[in-house]
Amino acid sequence: MNRIPPIPLDIPEKQKESFIQAYTSMLHPTGRLLLIACDHALEHCHPLNFTNIFNLANKEKIPLATHLETIARYANSSATNPFIVKLNGKTNLISTKDDDPQSDVLTTINDLVTFKKNTKINVSGVGYTLYPGSSHEHIMLQQAEQMIFQAHQHGLVTFLWLYPRGKAITDELDPQLIIKMAGMGNALGADCIKLKIPHYQTFDELKTYVHAIAEAAGNSTVLFSGGEMKSIDHFLNEIKTILSAHPTTGLALGRNIIQRPVHEAQEILHAIITILNN
């Protein structure tokens, strides 16, 4: 089953087919999105074994989201899995106590279109991290909306990582705040909105929040990140809950996959695919 949301009107007629193809190429056969995010070498200053991660994503045909130059260094030119290029980035060396976060553009849409033309790499989408609540949010809001418009001109699928952060934010994982983020991402025109799992007490409570978040996102698709490393059982139970809460929710997983030994990462991915298939 393919699950493609309505095609936004800023996609030119001649790019509609490319957009549908790009979106479809990222969908798991169940119609959900399952992505691996591996931008942590920059975002968390945490070195990664990119060779293993890129091989795993290619073998399992899972879309991989990271920065353009990482893709340029590690993607096999015959790789068949889709890629999502993260257009902005920052490190975690400046803490929120010292300054509100600002993540600036590293790669332009033009650069990535050139890269796409010159290689056979399947760049299907672009991603941008936005920190609502930061005193620098006005810069990121403008960049995010422009990125979405420009990416759509090339038939690319757009992803916003929406993480409330800064001195004005007391609890980044407040469920009501994450519901607001979903609505904001939809208003900004993102095809897919990546959010963190909110605080919760029980899996039933999580299910209620996930449903409300997915509904608040309107016709955009919500993906949840995996968060900090946790036990495999707990991680898989969260995933089951997220997927059962709403028919459109997807996953964009980082640390709980990429910071594990490759055989373990592969087993977890297989367990997630089994959950998806059920």
Backbone angles phi, psi at 104, to 5 degrees: -95, 165
Strand runs labelled E in the chain: 34-37, 64-67, 83-86, 88-89, 104-105, 123-130, 157-162, 192-195, 221-224, 250-253
Between 185 and 254, CB nearer to ligand FBP: 254
Residues numbered 179 to 218 that lie near ligand FBP (CB under 6 A) are: none
Cβ partners under 8 Å of residue 86, min gap 6? 39, 65, 66, 67, 68, 106, 107, 126, 127, 128, 129
- For residues 35 to 74, the per-residue mask of contacts with ligand FBP, x marking binding by CB under 6 A and - elsewhere, is --x-xx--xx------------------------------
The pair of structure tokens assigned to 264 is: 């373990």
Q: Is 227 in the site for ligand FBP (CB under 6 A)?
A: yes
Task: From the candidates 23, 128, 163, 209, give the one annotated as an active-site residue.
Answer: 163
Region 118-137 residues binding ligand FBP, contact defined as CB under 6 A: none
Give the nearest distance from C-beta 196 to ligand FBP in angstroms: 7
Q: Is 117 a catalytic residue?
A: no
Closer residue to ligand FBP in complex, CB, 92/153 = 92
Verify whether residue 163 is a known catalytic residue: yes
Handedness of CA 23, 24, 30, 35 (dihedral sign): negative
Interface size with ligand FBP, residues (CB under 6 A): 14
Smallest distance, ligand FBP to C-beta of residue 39, A? 5
Distance CA 15, CA 24 (A): 14
Range in contact with ligand FBP (rule: CB under 6 A) among 23-31, 224-232, 236-244, 266-274? 224-232
Residues 229-258 that bind ligand FBP (CB under 6 A): 253-255
| In contact, 2 and 24? CB cutoff 8 Å | yes
Return the residue of 74, 161, 209, 235 that touches ligand FBP, per CB under 6 A: 161
Burial 125-140 (b: 16+ CB within 10 A, else e): bbbbbbbbbbeebeeb
Length of the chain as a residue count: 278
Residue number with CB closer to ligand FBP (37 or 206):
37
| Contact positions vs ligand FBP (CB under 6 A) | 37, 39-40, 43-44, 92, 161, 163, 225-227, 253-255
What residues are labeled active site?
163, 194
